[in-house]
Amino acid sequence: MRHLPESWLLLNNRIPMQKPFLTVVGVAAVFVSVVGASISMGFPSFAADEPHSELVTSLITYARERSISREVKGVDVPADLGSPERVRRGAGNYEAMCVDCHLSPSAGNSEIRQGLYPTPPNLSVVRENAHDPSSDARDFWIIKHGIKASGMPAWAKGGMDDAAIWDLVAFLNVLPTQSTDSYQQLVSASNGHSHSGIPDAHGASGGPSHHSVDEHSPGHVHSH
C-alpha cells in the first residue's frame, strides 16, 4: 500500500478548517467590490431630503456614540452647573445661537430645521438622563466640538469659551420645564449673546444673533 507524504496529509487536514475563513474573506471581498463600484458610479445620494437606509443610519449612530463616549471621559462637570446665574447666562446664548434648530417653548419648527438631515433634536422637550453628569459632559463636548456632517457646529471655533458652553449646558437642563413666559423672562434677564461665561460690564440683554468673535477675547459680549 502506497503511503502519502506526511506534508500532503497535513495540508489536506487543514483545508476543511480553512474553508470558513476563505468564505468570510470571499464575502468581504465581494461586499467591498460592490460598495466601491456603487460609490464610483455615484449611486449613494447625498441629498438632505433623502434619508440614509436603516443600516447606514445604525452604523453612523453606533460609531458616533462610541466616539463621543470615549471623548467625554476626560470632561469634568463644574460643581456649580445648576446655579441660577449659569442658567440665566445660558438663556441668552440659547436664544441667539440654538433656537432655530433646537426650538424653544416660544418657537415652533423653523425652515432651516425642516431642511436639515439628520433633523436636530428638539431640546425644549424632556430628555432622558437630564442632570446626569455623563449627559452634561456629552452636551458640553458636542457644543464645543460639533458633529461632522450633521449641521452641528463646533461653537468653540467661533470663539465660545468653556465657561459659556457650560452655561448653555446648565440652561439645557432646565429648558424642558419652561413655559413660554418663563422662557422669555430668562432670555430677557440674560446678558444676550456672549462668548464668555462671565460678560463684561457693557453686556446687555438682547435678541438673536449669529455673530462670532475671536476665541481669545475674554469678556466679549454681543449686544443687539
* Helix 162-174 × helix 133-145 angle, to 10°: 130
Cell for 49? 431630503
With respect to residue 3, please indicate whether it lies within any of the assigned structural domains: no
Distance separating alpha carbons of residues 197 and 200, to the nearest angstrom: 10
In a domain, 215, yes or no: no
**What is the pLDDT at residue 96?**
96
Residue 131 is predicted with a pLDDT of 63
User: Per the domain annotation, does 180 fall within a domain?
Assistant: yes
Query: In whole angstroms, what is the distance from residue 167 CA to residue 97 CA?
Result: 13
Give Dmax (Cα) for the chain.
103
Q: What pLDDT does 14 receive?
A: 56
How far is Cα 60 from Cα 57, in angstroms, rounded to an integer?
A: 5
Q: Which helix (H) or strand (E) holds 221?
A: strand 221-222
Burial class (CB in 10 A: 0-12, 13-18, 19+), 197: buried
- Per-residue pLDDT in tens (0 to 9) along the chain, 224 residues: 555 555 545 555 555 556 777 787 777 788 788 777 877 888 778 899 999 999 999 999 999 999 999 999 989 999 999 999 999 999 999 999 999 999 999 998 999 999 999 999 999 998 766 667 789 999 999 999 999 999 999 999 999 999 999 999 999 999 999 999 999 999 999 989 987 765 443 333 333 333 333 333 333 333 33
pTM given for the model: 0.74
- Domain CATH for 98: 1.10.760
Determine, yes or no, domain membership for 174. yes
Is residue 92 domain-resident? yes
- Residues sharing a CB contact under 8 Å with residue 48, sequence separation 6 or more, in sequence order: 115, 116, 117
Which domain covers residue 142, as residue numbers? 80-200
Into how many domains does the chain fold?
A: 1
Burial class (CB in 10 A: 0-12, 13-18, 19+), 96: buried
**Cell numbers linked to 224:** 443687539
Residue 88 lies in a domain: yes
Residue 151 lies inside a defined structural domain of this protein: yes
**DSSP state letter for 105:** T
Predicted pLDDT of residue 29: 82
Q: What pLDDT was estimated at residue 16?
A: 59
How far is Cα 144 from Cα 30, in angstroms, rounded to an integer?
40
Q: What is the pLDDT of residue 206?
A: 38
Whether 217 maps to a domain, the answer reads: no
